[in-house]
Amino acid sequence: MERKCLECGDKVRGRADKKFCCDTCRNSYNNKFKKDSKNLVRNTNNTLRKNYRILEDLNPEDKTKTTREKMLSKGFDFNYFTSIYTTKAGTVYYFIYDQGYLPLENDFYALVKRE
């Protein structure tokens, strides 16, 4: 039985489980296959990564204060975070992985790093 490349239809030679004739066809097929279905995930992860880098940059010593304006000017998106932590006292921290922020009065934020 002759096997054909899933991308271009050429004859496939080699191992019995091989599906593509070359690396170019394999990459092209996988890029087309994953392009549309993963767009939302890719964009969300990019935004989370950007937010994380901004918090890391503004909080080099694991605990500091900053303003909402400074965070927004760097491109921070407050709609994206990975978890919410509520203390026993009812204080709500928003986290992006281990970097977090706490809204304070007058558009100030406390930045923290969870250990």
- At 1, the pLDDT band (50, 70, 90 cuts) reads low
What values do phi and psi take at 93, rounded to 5?
-105, 140
**Where are the domains positioned within the chain?**
39-113
Give the pLDDT of residue 34: 73
Residue type, 10: D
- 31: enclosing H helix or E strand: helix 23-35
Greatest extent of the chain over all pairs of C-alpha atoms, in Å: 73
pLDDT digit string (tens) for 74-109? 999 999 999 999 999 999 999 999 999 999 999 999
How many whole angstroms from its chain centre is CA 87?
26
pLDDT digit string (tens) for 26-63? 999 988 877 766 778 889 999 999 999 999 999 999 89
Per-residue DSSP letters for 85-102?
A: EE-TT--EEEEETTEEEE
Give the pLDDT of residue 40: 83
Q: Give the pTM.
A: 0.70
**Strand spans (E) along the chain:** 63-67, 83-86, 92-96, 99-103, 108-113
